[in-house]
Structure 1
């Protein structure tokens, strides 16, 4: 048995009201689990939704927060491919009430990997969710082909920045959309071929210019709302919009008549492990190989300490550029 502290939602509300530090114990891991001593944990918008009671498939409190974490493996069940002492990163058992904002946590073994030596703990802590989601969108659900155009909304955010990098690795021409100078400069530094500031530029006119009036082949949309609706005006015939999330708080309006007449499609993307463990292992092998080659890398933005977790979660409604990561002492 392992003991320590963990941030957990006691009741729904604002993060500073709802999230409390509690004493916890962790039993020996069951088959399918890996227990780690946490070094870093990635933060994202879903943490804010869960704290406030707006996350799909959500049970009642209490439960832990933090969908991804990195640390040293301290215990494994018989037959595990991990061993104590391994440095591992992966998706936590957050759907079962465990989370990464804790001194120890369980990773889902099917969604965990050994950390490539070139990757820091901070990069590893923010790697699994964003890149697994980008893979689900750009490879599994709405495949982007080399030479096609990929427009990424919220391109300076957790999910968007991963899609920019993975899209480039897949051979797409990437158009990054973000709001404000610091975010557009961030996108340019992280590999976008073209960057549009939706606050100061005419989004439709710029996409028309960039694509030579053809329109974009794929829209990667973790935002929704008005910005997503505007980009739909610029989708190419036969194009796709991959619906990743709703950071704007409202859905992207889809008109079936418009879809019919302009012959595009909308694809929902809710990343999860493939039912075939061999297929899922191949996904993680490809992602970690790209990370080891430094073709993709977690664009770490804000770093905060373990004691500041409620503030970090509260800030996910309007985060700065890059991936937010919590660093645990020791």
Structure 2
């Protein structure tokens, strides 16, 4: 048994009031789990959605927050492919109430990898969710081909910035859409070929200009709402929109007649585990790209452990890049 601290949501509401630091114990992991001592944990909008009671996959509090974490394995079940002492990063057992903002947490073994060579703790803590979601969108659900054009909404956010990098690694031209000069510059630094400010530019006109009137082959949409609806005006015939989130507060409204007349497709993206062999192949592909330097976590702010409640509240209007919490030193 292991003992330590964990930030837990005790009621739905403002995280600064509803998230409390508690003493917890962790038993030996069950089959399909690993127990790690956490060094870093990735943050994102889902944390704020969970705190507000707007995350559809969870029940009532209390439960832990933090979907991803990195650290050292301290316990494994019989037959695990990991060993005590391995340095790993993966998706937490947050659906069972165990989050990453804690001294220890359980990881899903099938959604865990050994930390790629050269990756820092902060990068490792923010690697799994963003890149696994981008992979689900760009490889599994709406496969992106080399030479195609990818439009990324929310391109400076944790999901958008990973999709930008993975799109480039897959050989696409990437147009990044964001709402400030700072975020556009961030997207350009992380691989975007072109950038568009949806607040000041005519988004549909810019898409037409940048694609020679042909439109974009794929839209990666973690934003929804009016921005996504406007972007759809610039989708190519036979194009796809990958629905990966609703940072705007509402999903994009789809017009089935417009889809029919312009022959485009909308696909939902939820990075749930596949059959074991397929899931392992996805993680191996991502780890290999990271090892080669083709993708890297687009780090934003690194927060201290005692900042977790305020950090979660800020995820509704985050700055550029992936927010990460430093839980403990190596």
TM-score norm. by structure 2 comes to: 0.99
| Cα distance in structure 1, aligned partners of 2:16 and 2:198 | 31
Q: CA deviation at 1:250?
A: 1.0
Are 1:94 and 2:132 counterparts? no
Q: Which residue of 1 aligns with 2:257?
A: 257
Q: CA deviation at 1:329?
A: 3.0
Offset from partner CA, 1:252-274 (integer Å, 9 cap, x none): 01011111111111100011110
Q: Which residue of 1 aligns with 2:80?
A: 80
Q: Report 1:30-41 matches (<5 A).
A: 30-41=30-41
| Cα distance in structure 2, aligned partners of 1:222 and 1:249 | 10
Q: Report 1:142-221 matches (<5 A).
A: 142-221=142-221
RMSD (CA atoms): 0.6
Q: Report 1:1-330 matches (<5 A).
A: 1-274=1-274, 276-330=275-329
SS at match of 2:220: strand
| Cα distance in structure 1, aligned partners of 2:174 and 2:272 | 25
| Cα distance in structure 2, aligned partners of 1:57 and 1:81 | 28
Contact 1:305 1:329 in 2 (8 A): no
SS at match of 2:11: coil
| Cα distance in structure 1, aligned partners of 2:324 and 2:293 | 19
Q: CA deviation at 1:10?
A: 0.2
| Cα distance in structure 2, aligned partners of 1:181 and 1:34 | 42
Contact 1:76 1:84 in 2 (8 A): yes
Q: CA deviation at 1:115?
A: 0.2
Q: CA deviation at 1:17?
A: 1.3
Q: CA deviation at 1:58?
A: 1.6
SS at match of 1:240: strand
Offset from partner CA, 1:115-139 (integer Å, 9 cap, x none): 0121000000000000000000000
Offset from partner CA, 1:45-104 (integer Å, 9 cap, x none): 000000110001220100000000000000101111111111000000000000000000
Q: CA deviation at 1:198?
A: 0.9
Structure 1 outlier segments of 4+, above 3 Å = none
Offset from partner CA, 1:263-292 (integer Å, 9 cap, x none): 111100011110x21111111001001001
TM-score norm. by structure 1 comes to: 0.99
SS at match of 1:226: helix
Q: CA deviation at 1:328?
A: 1.2
Contact 2:40 2:327 in 1 (8 A): yes
Q: CA deviation at 1:228?
A: 0.3
